[in-house]
Amino acid sequence: MGCSTTNWRRGSALWIKRAGIKRAGIRRVTSAAAALSIAMIASALAQAPLTPAQQRDLDQVNSYLNRLDKLHAEFEQTGPDGAISRGDFYLSRPGKMRFDYAQPDDLLIVADGLWLAVQDGELNTVDRFPIKSTPLSLLLDEQIDLGSSTQVAGISREGDSLYLTLQDPDAPEKGEVTLVFAAAGAEMAAKADTLELKRWIVVDAQGLATQIDLDAIEMRDTLDPKLFIMRDPVPGTLRNR
């Protein structure tokens, strides 16, 4: 199979288990390499217990994530090959999210509470995977307690950013995810409302990194439930949303 940018986007954006869509010859660009370096450094710290300051940061992250309900944001995705994709991101906790890719990417990803569905308009296919098979299921749980449900591979502050790297200890083959929050100074660390999720970086077992950046984040009172329903495409059509 060829080195298809679209299929890399399908596979790495949400860390879907990629049987049959591995690609050779991926060029590591600076942004992906930098993201990988952050995750690797954080992993090296995983053996040490959390300091009191790190535990406060982790408690702050848990409090913030549990307060998330419904939101809309614009996203920009940087793939392992440096390709850029953009679109709209919707979150409705618990259980639901949607990545609506803008053209020319004919791609739609929907989590409906149980399944994560990937619709490829170019291939006219919909593939479904259990949400629990992806690390981003951590963001969709009804009650989020990252310290108890996951291995905290690293937590650190750099400037106004807070980095939290996670790995599922029961399924390390999923790889790692680093959540990046815009944060106020350490003196404000006890206040969850000083955080905002701005980015996440997924690194697979092959060391390939995909980065998602969020912008124009809006909290919503309601979202159309139809956003989180994926229907199989009508035969002969390129896309059926």
Identify the CATH number of the domain in which residue 147 sits.
Answer: 2.50.20.10
C-alpha to C-alpha distance for 164 and 228, rounded to whole angstroms: 27
Q: Is 194 contained in some domain?
A: yes
pLDDT band of 192, cuts 50, 70, 90: low
On the question of pLDDT at 70 being above 90, the answer is yes
pTM of the model: 0.75
In a domain, 234, yes or no: no
Considering only CA atoms, which of 204, 164, 193, 191 is closest in space to residue 80? 204
What is the pLDDT, as a whole number, of residue 109? 96
Record the tokens describing residue 135, joined without a space.
Answer: 């690390």
- Ramachandran angles phi, psi of 60, nearest 5°: -65, -40
In this prediction, residue 149 carries a pLDDT of 65
Contact between 116 and 14 (Cβ < 8 Å): yes
Measured CA distances, 213 to 17, 171, 194 (Å): 22, 25, 18
Cβ atoms of residues 210 and 201 within 8 Å = yes
In terms of residue numbers, what domain contains 103?
5-18+26-228
In a domain, 97, yes or no: yes
Percent of the chain with pLDDT over 70: 69
Domain for residue 224, yes or no?
A: yes
Pick from 26-30, 110-114, 147-151, 175-179: least confident: 26-30
Residue 76: per-residue pLDDT: 98
Q: 82 near 27, Cβ under 8 Å?
A: yes
> In whole numbers, what is the pLDDT of the chain averaged over residues?
78
Domain count, the chain: 1
Is the residue at 204 inside a domain?
yes
E-only strand ranges, the chain: 70-78, 84-92, 96-101, 107-112, 115-120, 125-130, 151-158, 161-167, 176-182, 196-203, 209-219
Residue 157 domain flag: yes
Least trusted range by pLDDT, from 31-35, 74-78, 111-115, 222-226:
31-35
CB 151 within 8 A of CB 168: yes
How far are the Cα atoms of 13, 176, 189 from residue 160, in angstroms, in the given order?
Answer: 25, 22, 11
Contact 75, 200 (CB under 8 A): no
Q: How many residues does the chain have?
A: 241
Report CA Rg, the chain.
Answer: 17
Whether the pLDDT of residue 71 is over 90: the answer is yes
CA distances from 51 to 78, 156, 194 (A): 32, 11, 20
